[in-house]
Structure formats: C-alpha cells, structure tokens
Structure 1
Amino acid sequence: MNDQTPMLEVIVDRSLPSKGGLVMRKRRGRGRVRGTVHRQRASKALTARVRRVGPECFGILAVDSAKSRFAVLLTDFYGRPRMGVVEVDNTAPALDALVAQVKACCAEHGLKDLVVAMERTGRYHMPIRQVLEKHWDVQIIHPFATKQLRQPADPGNKTDPTDLRAIVRATIVGFGTREQELPPGWVDWRLVSREREALVRQRAWTRVRLHMRIEALMPGYPALFGNLWTSPLAVLWAEHYGSASALVAAGEPGLRACGHEAGALVQARTVAKVLQWAAQAAPADPGAAAGQRLLRDQVGLLRPLEAQIEAYERQLVVPLVQTPFVLLVGIPGINVASAASYGAELGPIEHYVHPKKITGRAGIYPSRYQSDETDLADGPLVGHRNARLRDAILEIAHNLLAHNDHVKAWAAIRRLRGWPEAKVHIAVASKFVRISYWMLAGRTVFEHPCLGGRDAVVRKLYRFARAHRIPLADTHTLLHRAAQQLPADVRHEEAHALAEALPRRSRRGGEPQRIGTLLRDIIAQLAPGIHLETQRRPVRPCPPTEGPSLNAQDC
C-alpha cells in the first residue's frame, strides 16, 4: 500500500481529473482558502491501554470547544455515558471545577484510565487543552472526522450533544492524535512568518491597484520600466508628477532633482526614455485630478507595507540561522524568506521519518477514483492538506523553476514530453521535498545536479543582511550562528566565497574597515589559518552544459 493512502478514507473526493493528468484543485467559493485539513490514518495507540484496564474502566472525555462556553461528555470505551452533557464557561475557576467533577465521576464509576478527546477549533481549544493536559492525556480530533461520523447517526442535525457523540466515535475508531510539541521559539517563528505572508498578499493586491491607477493616469508609462517595483524612480515620478504633461514641464532638470532628493541614482538614458514617452503619450482617463490623489494615497499605503515586510524578514532570519534550514539557502533559487517560511511551517525535521510524510501532510500527491474497472489514479491534488505548508513548498518550486538552471532544464524536457504545466510544478515540488529532507536530516549540503553551481550560504546571508540594513553587530551574530550549522567539509569553500565580499578599500575608522573586520572574523571561524591573500575563486563553478540535456532522467 502506498504510504500516502489513508487506511480509512474520511473524505470522499468526487472531483474528476482532467484529460491532461494532474491538475490543481479549483477553489470553491470566493477568496483564498486558508484552512488546514490533514489526511489521517486510524491509530491503534489506545488499544494497549484499553486492554490493560478493560473497556468498562476506560473513560473518554469528549470536549466540543467554543469561544465563550464549551460542552463536555464523559463515557466509557463502549460509548455509554458516565456524565451527562455539561456546559462549562471558558474561565479558570470553571475549568478547575470541571477537573474536580470529572475526577469524582471517574472514581464513582470505576474509570481507571481516561483520555480527553478535543475537537480542533482554530485557537479556542488551546486554553482548555493547557488545563486538561496537566491531568490527562489529550488527543485532538479533526472536525472532518467529527462531521463524517456525525452525519450517519444524526443526518441534518448538528448540536453540541451530537458533536460530542461523534467525537467519542472518532476516538474509539482511532482518529485522535497527539500534536508534536514545537521547540521554544518555533511558535514565534511561525507566527511572524504567517504575518509576513499575509502582508505579502496585501502588498500584491495593493501593487495591482497601483499599477492600474498609474496606467489610467499615464498610459504606457509602466511598460517603460518592465517591472515598476524594481526601479525606485518609476513609482516616485508617477507619484510626484502624475501626468505626462507634468513630466514634460519638469524636463530633465526636474526629474533629476526629484530623484536626487529621494536618494535614488538617476541615469541619463532613463530620463531620456521617460521624456520621449511623455512627449507623445496618450491622454489620461477622465477624472485625472481625483486619480492623482488616489494614486498618492495608494503609494502611502504601499510604503508602510514594504517597510513592515522588510522588518519581518529581518526577524525571520534569526531563527533560520539557528536551525539546519539555513542550509537550504545554498540551493540556487531559494532565498532567505522562502527558506524561513518553509522551516516555520514544516517544524523540526525530527518529526518526520521519510520525505513522503512531508508530501503527505502537505497533500502534494494526486487523488484517486476507483470503482470496479474504472481506476483514475492521476486526479487533482487531494483536498485534505496543510494549506500553509503546501503554499510554502509550491512557492519554492515556483522560484526553482524561475531561477535554478538544473530545474529549468529538467522542466523543459518534461514539457517536450507533453506534461501539463501544473504537473511539472508539482513534480518540482516533490523533488524539492526529497532533496530538502535528506539535507536537513543529514545536516549536509546535498550533492545533486541542481547544486552544481551551489550558492555560498554565508555570503548569501551577508548580502541579505546588507540589503535589509541589519546592523553590523547583528550581522556578525547571524553569520556566526550560520557558520555553526555548516558541515565541516564545506567550510573551507564558504570561507573562500566570503573572502570575495571583503571591501576593496579600507578607510581608517570607516564602515568598510568595520565590515572587513567582521568578515575576517567569520572567515577565521570557518577556516582557521586561511590565507586571504590567495587568489579568489568562485564556489564550485558549474561546468558548461549543452541545452536541456542536463540529467534528463528522473532523480
């Protein structure tokens, strides 16, 4: 049996696959689905405990969590009630009273062992869990299991009592799970990563609106720069002038003065290109005056978003360099932010015994529909998954397809074979999961064709720190911790690569001298006794290849 096929299917996937093979599931309804739905096997963890004390003496305390009040039901392992449905306030005194009441009821009915089965409900189950886990074993029941086991017994009837009985059934069947505890600081890492992700989505929507506004006021202006957001002058001039006629009136001196006041580098060819466009630009849409005001307002919304995202990225690199996930930065196409997002959502690699456990949790495998002689094994991606982990993996796959030479060549061969784009994307995501697992589990840089031109981890982190204006003292700490995560066999390479970042000039007491002192200290940590005067050399230059024939076979 495939490790990614649940022993007991709780969810029936009725969506049909496309003729082209694996496709991504279409969203139902509006908005982006952010839910977390895990596939789950029936567990036999309670079997030994039940046999030891007997089903009549084994209790199940079902908890239906809610915001202000929650309901509980105590039964034995046969599902016979031992304490009726009780509603409890979400307060500390009420929880303490519940614990005393349950213990008294267990003593009255001879329940020698007890498990708490609690339905996951966002964050509302967490305060209850923290109190009850001090006294009993707490297991989490997913709402999908509760729903599927409630509907046959109580179709069309959803109440707290019916939910509690469904939770008891799910516990007896074996759908209770114990959540892995995250190490200290990992929860903070995950929260910051998710907040950054939310702001990135908000920034993307703001940029779309701003692009449309500039196009309406200055038709053809965004096309001059290709990408509005990589040139600091593009949005600056649009915000300051707001029309082609204003640009013509300002002329070259006005554009240069505007750019220099903002601290941007102004090139003569850029100014000439903008003025040439402005002289023959098409008329703006009606309502230009109001549009210019709205344009300035939208720019005012965008800049704080970008500043806050940059601040969150400075925070995310701190836990990244303290874990083996920093090794992923050495893969071309993976930056600090995407590696940090992947690490925050995945959790410690020790929680996984095989790469398939990661792809299974993220739902990166096709659904299957089989009935009699019909067997459609290459359907859409399964719907039950950890959505945030899947997003982090697919984002990295997208970056690899855009910036990794080996992955681009590998994908080109698959496209020639007729693979749909979505299938290529998912295949790259699965390849990355396998590579990253063995890198993280082995604490090494994985020798793979996509690492033929491996990026130097420490040098990449140093450039990230400079781009994000991290103080030199904090940069030294980050590089020092990252160097501790590197395996011994690559530290000499990393030292030579970092030596290339040494300032060419050093003014006494100036910043270049402080940077040089910092980098020499890290180089000495990586490779004690190294001679910095030796010839600089790149890190493993990738040998020339002939087109997409590089490693055409599956790895």
Structure 2
Amino acid sequence: MGFKKNNQSLNNIQGKKGSQFSSQLRGINLERVLVVAIDAAKFFQKALLCNYFGDVIEKPFFFGVDKNGINHLCSLIENAKGQIQAERIFIGVEATGHYYEDIVRELGKRGYGVTIINAATTYEERSSALNWSKTDDLDLYAIAHALIQNKGMENKLPEGIYRRLMTLTRARRNEVRKRALVRVHIRTLMDHIWRDFQGYVEIKNNKPEKKLIFSKFWGKPSLFFLENYPHPSSVLELGIEKLLQLVKEKKLRIKETTIHTLMKVAEQSIVKSKEEVSAELLLLKLAVQDLKRLDENVSILEKEIEEALLETDGRLLLTVPGIGVATAAEFFSELGDISQYEHAGQLIKKAGTNPIIIQSGGTQGFYGRISKQGNKNLRFMVYTVGKCLATHNKDLRPYYEKLKERGKHARKAFIALGNKFIRIAFSMLKHKKPYESKQSEYSIFQEIKKKLIYTKMNTYLNIALAA
C-alpha cells in the first residue's frame, strides 16, 4: 500500500531530517546537485567541489578566512554551479573547534546554507574512506560523503542571548577546571611543606580518626594561613595571643578553639625546615595567587551568567531541584532555540545521547551505546544534569535507582536520566511553565531564592511569580 503524497514528509526512515533532505532532491537530476565539502582549520582551510555521485568538479584547494578567501570560495562555487547547471547546493563543514564558525557565518551572509557535521561522523566516514581512497584529502572526502548521506548535525549557529550564555558558561567551565588543577597543586605542595595542615589523625581505642583544623580547606581563614603562614614554625613564632589578635584584625571569623588546634598541630607536626622547602614555599605563594585570581574570574562570570539567564525563559529551569544557575544556563544555551524543534527526541539526537538499537536476523533488538552523532557540549551537559538530578532531585532519583537496580552502569544511568530531563525541560520551556514537584516541602520561591546569589531580595518573588 502506498503512502499519500501529503504524508510523505512523515514517513522517511530518517524522520523529519530525512524528509527535508529528500524533498530537496526529489525530482532533480542528481548530476545537477553540487556538493561543497570544507575542512576548517586555524590557518589553512581547504575545500572540494563535486556532484552528488562524487565526481570531482573542483579539485581540493586552499582558501583563507578573510574577504578575499571567502570571495574566492564563492566564485568557485558559482562557476561550478554554472558548469553543471546545479539546481541544489549542499555545503558542509566539520565542527572543528571554533574555526568553522566564521566560515558558516560569512557564507550565510552571502545566501548559502551550511550544514555543520559532527567530528565523530567524519571520523567514521574517514575510516571507511580508507577502503576506497589513498589520497591526502581523506577529510574532505569524508565530509562530502557525510553530506551526501545526510549525516549533518545542524545548520544554524547560536545567536543573541544563546550565544552570549554559551560563551560565558563555557568560559566559566574552563576557569573552574583550571582552578581544580591549581587546588590539586596546592595540596601537593602542602604535603611537602606541612602535611597535617590539611588534616591530622587522632587514635582512640586503636581506631584512627581524621580531624580537620579548618572545616573548609578553601575557605577564607585557611587561605589566609596558606598565603601568609604556610609553615608550622611561622605559626609557632606568632603564639596564641598574636594569632587571636591577627584573626580579629583580619575578620577571619575563627573560633578560639580552632586557633588552639592549629597551635597544637603545629607543635606536633614533623616537617622540614623553611630552608629545605623554600622552593615549595615560593611555588605555593604563586599558586595561591593564581587561585585567588581564578576565584575572582569565576565570581565575575557567575554574576554575568545569572543576570543573563534571568532575562530568558531558562530561568524556569531554576525551579528544578538539583539544577543550579550555572548548570541551568549552560544546559539552556546548549539546547538553543527550541522553537525549531517539534519534540524532545530531536534534542536528544542533537546531543547524540540517543541509544543505538542493535538488531539482527529477526532477533529482539536491544539498546547499545549512544550514537554520539551530535553536539559534544550538549552531550556533556546531559550527563552533568543527570548526575545532579540523581543526587539532589527526590522526584527523579527513583528513576536513576531503578536503572541501577537493572544493572545499568552509573554513567549510562546519568545519561538516561539526562535524556529524561530533556523531555521535561522541553515541555517546561515550550509551555513556559515551572517544574512541578510531588514533594510536600517543595516551594518555587525557596528553590529559586537559595540558588540566586547576586539578585536582590525583592526580585526573588517577581521571578517566582514569572515562573
């Protein structure tokens, strides 16, 4: 039984994406379809022009990402278009770092639509290309092949508030990662300088118990001593009275018992002399300065992110227990404008977290690994959100625990929960409605209030009402 013509768009094996692609090719001589493959890089961009069957029209050539280079590329496209009397043009570029963005943007200004192709897709195509090609232009052939087979990811760069949030949140994530490395470095240095500063051991009834001098190692009081008195001899030279006076002057808010503990640990610690660890002390001083700078950078970025997020519908995500400002902003920006999507499944495919169904010989199929044919940054956020919800969301944690009981690895369960949240978030953003919790103690106002740091008190209620 055939399908009705007006239902053809609903029955392509690749869904909506395949329907749109096939509608552009239906009834056209495929020799008149121009394919432009672009391999983006920092300095040397390369392109290849061929028809739908892979017949080369313009051999691989280099061009620059400037006005002359883009004009040269466009002139060759137009020449090839006239040469084969092209009725359709498909342009594809691999998402390599951020180098492809200027190409997509400039070609868009000249009226060309560009499909962005995931690096994982071109990797698979490049591997298969080894069977039929032995040239140095495998990347271009892989991009062209992926384009011909409609394996593109998307064809629109983030704009406006989405781009701003994406830039800010990715920068914050980068600063947080650098800060984590600096913190590890500081702990390593303190292992050599004064190991017990990070924690000491008390043995009672032949049972060891770890004790802390400061409840928060990265808090203001601890950082003050790391920066100014990182060696026990320096603390002992000051004495109890001077330490208490110093704490009061610097407004460190340390209990007197903490100072006594610090002195006790300093007296009992076995350490090298200052001269022996002079190199480590210098490195520690530099590392603490780096840490303070990174802390300031993160604070500046988080303030900007909070202000930007509250200007968007992404603030609705703050009503979800377990989703903080930075996570909500990054997740929202990586999702992008959801108005161009009809259902949440398309966003899951955009992330590349959709599981691949493996089936053969009429046997019952099963879900294998995720496809990874999508945006790697969104994929990372799906995992991150799933992990946060599994820990802090009482409504969704049972779903995670159920997956674990069925034998799912924690990472796979996090991704599955992240996919579930994509569906929830899609509905929330589409209908502009807050999260609905089944917990009796849940309050939208309190949920938002505890997450916002830089927003004034009198705006909490307005945001809650807007949500």
Same fold (TM over 0.5): yes
Other-structure match for 2:344:
355
Is the contact between residue 324 and residue 451 of structure 2 (CA under 8 Å) also seen in structure 1? no
SS of corresponding position for 1:118: strand
Matches within 5 A, 1:112-511: 112-133=87-108, 134-155=110-131, 159=135, 161-223=137-199, 224-225=212-213, 228-229=216-217, 231-284=219-272, 287-364=276-353, 366=355, 377=366, 383-406=372-395, 421-422=410-411, 424-449=413-438, 452-456=441-445, 460=449, 464-465=453-454, 479=459, 483=462, 486=464
AA matched with 2:149: V
Summarize deviations over 1:253-277 as a string: whole Å, max 9, x none: 2223333343322322322332333
Paired residue total: 442
**What is the rounded CA distance, in whole Å, between the counterparts of 2:314 and 2:82 in structure 1?**
49
**What is the rounded CA distance, in whole Å, between the counterparts of 1:111 and 1:426 in structure 2?**
43
AA matched with 1:328: L
Summarize deviations over 1:287-311 as a string: whole Å, max 9, x none: 3333322222211111001001100
**What is the rounded CA distance, in whole Å, between the counterparts of 2:240 and 2:260 in structure 1?**
8
**What is the rounded CA distance, in whole Å, between the counterparts of 1:387 and 1:418 in structure 2?**
26
**What is the rounded CA distance, in whole Å, between the counterparts of 1:196 and 1:352 in structure 2?**
28
Report which stretch shifted further, 336-345 or 280-289.
280-289
**What is the rounded CA distance, in whole Å, between the counterparts of 2:378 and 2:68 in structure 1?**
37
Is the contact between residue 368 and residue 375 of structure 1 (CA under 8 Å) also seen in structure 2? no
AA matched with 2:432: R
Other-structure match for 1:55:
30
**What is the rounded CA distance, in whole Å, between the counterparts of 1:138 and 1:293 in structure 2?**
52
**What is the rounded CA distance, in whole Å, between the counterparts of 2:446 and 2:231 in structure 1?**
45
**What is the rounded CA distance, in whole Å, between the counterparts of 2:330 and 2:166 in structure 1?**
8
Is the contact between residue 63 and residue 72 of structure 2 (CA under 8 Å) also seen in structure 1? no
Report which stretch shifted further, 232-241 or 355-364.
355-364
Summarize deviations over 1:418-453 as a string: whole Å, max 9, x none: 765445544543443333332222211222225842
Summarize deviations over 1:230-282 as a string: whole Å, max 9, x none: 53212212332223343233233222333334332232232233233333334
Summarize deviations over 1:509-531 as a string: whole Å, max 9, x none: xxxxxxxxxxxxxxxxxxxxxxx
Is the contact between residue 361 and residue 385 of structure 1 (CA under 8 Å) also seen in structure 2? yes
Task: Give me the CA root mean square deviation.
Answer: 3.7
**What is the rounded CA distance, in whole Å, between the counterparts of 2:57 and 2:369 in structure 1?**
45
Summarize deviations over 1:131-166 as a string: whole Å, max 9, x none: 333143322333444444454454395645444444
Is the contact between residue 329 and residue 460 of structure 1 (CA under 8 Å) also seen in structure 2? no
Summarize deviations over 1:455-509 as a string: whole Å, max 9, x none: 426962785017xxxxx7xx87xx49x93x6556x7xxxxxxxxxxxxxxxxxxx
Q: Pick closer, same or farther for the CA change 1:415–1:227 going to 2, 3 Å.
A: farther
Unaligned runs of 5+ in 2: 1-11, 200-211
Q: CA deviation at 1:415?
A: 6.3
SS of corresponding position for 2:195: coil
Is the contact between residue 120 and residue 372 of structure 2 (CA under 8 Å) also seen in structure 1? no
**What is the rounded CA distance, in whole Å, between the counterparts of 1:128 and 1:75 in structure 2?**
19
SS of corresponding position for 2:222: helix
**What is the rounded CA distance, in whole Å, between the counterparts of 1:173 and 1:410 in structure 2?**
37
**What is the rounded CA distance, in whole Å, between the counterparts of 1:97 and 1:245 in structure 2?**
70
AA matched with 1:270: T
Q: Give the share of equivalent positions with the same residue, in percent.
A: 23
Is the contact between residue 62 and residue 164 of structure 1 (CA under 8 Å) also seen in structure 2? yes
Other-structure match for 2:5:
none
**What is the rounded CA distance, in whole Å, between the counterparts of 1:322 and 1:45 in structure 2?**
33
Is the contact between residue 316 and residue 337 of structure 1 (CA under 8 Å) also seen in structure 2? yes
In the superposition, the TM-score normalised over structure 2's length comes to: 0.79
Is the contact between residue 62 and residue 73 of structure 1 (CA under 8 Å) also seen in structure 2? yes
Unaligned runs of 5+ in 1: 1-5, 9-39, 467-471, 491-555
Report which stretch shifted further, 377-386 or 287-296.
377-386
Q: CA deviation at 1:366?
A: 5.0
AA matched with 2:258: T
AA matched with 1:266: I
SS of corresponding position for 2:454: helix
Q: Pick closer, same or farther for the CA change 1:316–1:165 going to 2, 3 Å.
A: same
Summarize deviations over 1:65-100 as a string: whole Å, max 9, x none: 344343333333333334444433433123323423
Summarize deviations over 1:348-406 as a string: whole Å, max 9, x none: 33344333333433344556655559878465555555332233333334334444455
AA matched with 2:72: A
AA matched with 2:271: P
**What is the rounded CA distance, in whole Å, between the counterparts of 2:19 and 2:405 in structure 1?**
47
SS of corresponding position for 1:235: helix
Higher relative contact order, chain-length normalized (CA < 8 Å, sep 6+) = 1
**What is the rounded CA distance, in whole Å, between the counterparts of 2:277 and 2:133 in structure 1?**
57
In the superposition, the TM-score normalised over structure 1's length comes to: 0.68
